[in-house]
Structure 1
C-alpha cells in the first residue's frame, strides 16, 4: 500500500527541502579489481623478448590473401555480427530513453467545440469554444531511481559494444579454423595421391614378380588391399573439404557452395610468419571483450540494486498544467489558467514485496560477479592451454620431420632390395605404411599447430577491445 499526499502550489517550499535532500541509494556500480597471476605459467620458458607486439589483426601474420579477404568479408556480412549491431543500437536507444526520465515531461493539447440549435424557421444560434495548453510532470527522483536506471542502461550499452567486439573476435577465429580445415583436407588429398602412386608402383612390381613366378599370390593380394584402403580415404577427405567450404560460405553470409577456393593441389596449410608477445594475464582484463562484457553486465546489475532500493523510499512528482482559451463565439476574451502541485508517494505496506525484489537483484549481482570471475579464469586458461599445446606440437613437428626422412630412406632401400629379391614383401609393406603414416602425421600436426596458434591469438583478445567508455 502506498500513501499519496497531494500538495497545493503554496506548499512548494517544503518540496524544495526534499529537492535539496535528494540522494542516490544502493551500492556504487563499480566492478571489483580482480587479481591475476604475474605471468602465464606456460610462457616462462619462451623468449618473449624476441616476439612482436604488433597491434595489427593477428590473421595478417599468416599473409594469405584469400584468408584475409574471407575474414574481412565476414566482419562486414556475418549475420551474428549484424544481430549484435542491432542489439547495440537498441541498447543505445535505451540509454537515451532512461536519460529522458531525468527531465520534465510536457504534453500539449488543443480542444475545439461547436454547439448549435437550429429553429424550425431555419434560423438558429451557434456557439463555440476553444482552448489550448499543456500538462507537465517532473519526477524529482529523490532516491535516485532514475539515475541508477540510467547508469544500468549505460553499462548494458557498453556490454553490448563489447559483445559485438567479442562476436567479431570469434567470427574471425571461426573463419580461420574452417579455412585451415579446408586446406588440411586438400593437403591430405595431395598426400593421398602421392601415397597411391607409391602403392600402385608396388602393386605393379609385385604383379610382375608373381607373373614371373618369383612371389606368391598372397603378396599381390596384400599390395592390392593396401592400395584399396588408401583409395577409400578419398571420399571422406573430399567431403571434409567441401563441408569446410560450405561453413565458410555461411560465415560470410552467403549460401553454401558460393565460394571458389581453388583445387586441392593448390592447398597449403597456413602458418604464421612470426609469433607475438603474449603479455601477462592482467592484459586480458582489457583485451578480452567477453571479460569486458561480463564486467559491464556486473556493473549494470549493481546499479539495478539501487533501482530496486529506491522503491523503498518516498517519491516526489511535480505535476502541473497551463491552459488558454474558454472563448465563446464572437468574443475576444481569453482566459489563462495555470496549475502546479506536488505529489509524494510514500510506501507503507506491501507484505515484503519490495524487500524481496531488492534481495533478488542482489543475488543477480552476486551471480554476475561469479560470471565475471569465471570469464577471467576461462580467458587465462585458454591462453595457458594454447601455449602448452603449441610447445608440444612444435617439438612433435621436429621429430615427425625426422621420422619422414628416415621412413623415406628405409622404404627406398627396401623397395630396391625387394626388386632384386633380397628383402621380403612384408618388410616392404611395413616400410611403405610407416612412410605414409609419418607423412600423414606431419600434415595433421601442421594443421593442428596452425589451429592452436589461431586459438592462442583469439584467446589473447585484441587491442581494439579497449573501447572508449560511453
Structure 2
C-alpha cells in the first residue's frame, strides 16, 4: 500500500513538473520584411484605399462589369472554396485541444437446443447479451505541440483569405484592362472608318485632276494604295475587339460570345494620381504581401510543433461500459475506467530531428519569399509611377508632333493644288498624320492601363468582403 501511494505521489509530481515547463513558441523576426525605402521616388502622400478605385474613373459601365466579375468569376470561386477548405483544416487542428468522445454498442443473441434424458427434444433456450459504452481520449498539450499546429492552421486560413483578396484585386484590374483595350479598338475602328472616308474623297479629287490631265496616273495609284491600306486594317481591329470581348466575357463567368451590353465609346478620365502613402503601407495594403507574412509565421509555428514532438507526451483514456440486462439498474452498474499513458521517443533514426530541420528550412524559405514579395510590391508601385509619368510626357510630345504634321499636310496640299509640287509630299504628310492619330489612341489607352496597374500595385482594404457570395463590393448579405 505504501508503494502504491508513493507511485501516485511520484506521478503527480511528474505531471506538475511537466506542466511547469513553458511550451515552445515561434521565433520572433522583427526585421522579416527587410529593408524598406522611406518614400517613393516621385510622390509621398497619405494613403486612402478604402473605396474601390474604379469608381474614380466615373464609368457606370465599368462599375457594372467589375461588380459582375467579383460575383461570378470562376477563378474567384475557386479561391473562395480553397478558403473554406483551410477553415475546415483549422477546425481539425484545433479539435485535438479537447477530449473526444465515442459511443459503442453491441447486441448478441444465441439459441441452443435442449434434450431430455431419453434423447428427445424439449425445445430451445435463448440467451441475449448487450453492452453499451463511452470512450474518451485526450492528450495533455504539455509543450504546445497541438496549440502550435492550431496556430499554424489559423494563419494558413488568414493567408488563404489574403489569397482570395489578391484574386479580387487582380480580377478587377483584368476586367478594367480588357474594357479599356476594347474601347481603344472601337475608337481605332471609328478613326479608321473616318480616315477611309477622307482618303476616298482625296482619291476622287485626284482622279478628277487625272481626267483633266493635270496629274499623272502615279498619283492615282499612290492614293489607291493609301485607301486599301486603311481598309485592310479594319478587319484586324475587329478581330482584336472580338478576342478581347471573349476574354472579358470569361472573366465575368459568361460564355465567350455573350452580349455584355458595352455601349461606352469614349475613354474615361483618370484624373490626378491617387494618394500613395509610404512603401511600408504596402505591408498592410497588399494582400499578397500579407499572405507571405502569414505563411512565414505559420512556418515558425510548425517549427515549434516539430520541436515539441520530440518530447514526452501524456495521453488519458477514459471509458464507461454498461453490460447488465436490467434497465432499472442502468445508472448503478456502469463500469468506469481511467488510464494514463506516457510515451517518450527514445530512438527513431533521427526522424523527429530531421523534421525540425525541415520545418526550420521551410521557415527560412518563407522568410525570403516574404522579403521578395515586399520588394516586388514596392517595385510595382515605382514602375507604375515611372511609366505613367513618362507616358504622359510622351503623349504631350505626340500631340505636338501631330499638330506639326497637320500643318505640314495643309501646306503640302496647298502647294500640290498650286502645281508647285508633286503628290509625294502630300502622301508623306497624309500618312504621318493618320499614323499619329492612330498612335495617340493607343498611347492614351496605355496611359490609363498604367494607372490601372498603379491601383493594382497599391492594393487596398476594399477587398475585405470580396467573395462569390457577395453581389457587390461591401455587400455582406
Contact 2:182 2:244 in 1 (8 A): yes
Structure 1 counterpart of 2:323: 325
For 1:332 and 1:145, the matched residues in 2 are separated by 40
Residue in 1 that maps onto 2:23? 24
Q: Which residue of 2 aligns with 1:4?
A: none
Of residues 173-182 and 308-317 in structure 1, the stretch that sits farther from structure 2 once superposed is 308-317
Residue 162 of structure 1 corresponds to: 162
Q: What residue in structure 1 maps to residue 94 of structure 2?
A: 99
Identify if the C-alpha distance between structure 1 residues 71 and 112 changes in structure 2 by more than 3 Å, giving closer, same or farther: same
Distance 1:128 1:334, change over 3 A: farther
User: Structure 1 residues 332, 112: closer, same or farther in 2, change over 3 A?
Assistant: same
The structural deviation recorded for 1:346 is: 1.0
Aligned to 1:75: 70
> Given the two structures, how large is their TM-score scaled by the length of structure 2?
0.89
CA distance in 1 between counterparts of 2:94 and 2:56 reads 44
**CA–CA distance in 2 between the matches of 1:96 and 1:355?**
27
| Partner-residue secondary structure (3-state), 1:42 | coil
Aligned length: 453
- 1:181-219: CA deviations, max 9, x gaps? 101111111111122122222222222222221212122
CA drift of 1:154 comes to 0.6
Aligned pair partner of 1:285 in 244, 269, 283: 283
1:60 matched residue in structure 2 = 55
The partner residue of 1:397 within 395, 405, 417 is 395
Q: Please tell me whether the aligned partners of residues 49 and 462 of structure 2 are also in contact (alpha carbons under 8 angstroms).
A: no
Verify the 8 A CA contact 1:112 1:128 in the aligned structure 2. yes
Q: Which residue of 2 aligns with 1:342?
A: 340
- 1:85 corresponds to: 80
TM-score under structure 1 length normalisation: 0.90
* Contact 1:24–1:148 (CA under 8 A) maintained in structure 2: no
1:249 and 2:244 correspond: no
Aligned with 1:255: secondary structure?
coil
- By how many angstroms is 1:14 displaced? 4.5
The change in CA–CA distance for 1:337 and 1:212 in structure 2 (over 3 A counts) is same
CA RMSD of aligned residues (A): 2.4
CA distance, structure 1, for counterparts of residue 206 and residue 329 of structure 2: 121
The equivalent residue for 1:236 is: 236
Q: Give, in angstroms, the shift of residue 10 of structure 1.
A: 8.7
Deviation at 1:152, TM superposition (A): 0.3
How many Å separate the matches in 2 of 1:465 and 1:108? Answer: 45
Give the unaligned 5+ runs of structure 2: 1-6, 116-120, 466-477
Q: 1:364 to 1:424 in 2, by over 3 A?
A: same
Pair 1:406–1:360, CA change in 2 (3 A) = same
Structure 1, unaligned runs of 5 or more: 1-7
Give the CA deviation at 1:26. 5.0
* TM-aligned CA distance change 1:364 to 1:350, over 3 Å: same
CA contact (8 A) 2:70 2:172 kept: yes
Q: Shift in Å at residue 401 of structure 1?
A: 1.9
Please tell me whether residue 275 in structure 1 is matched to residue 290 in structure 2: no
Residue 458 (structure 1) aligns with: 456
Match of 2:404 in 1: 406
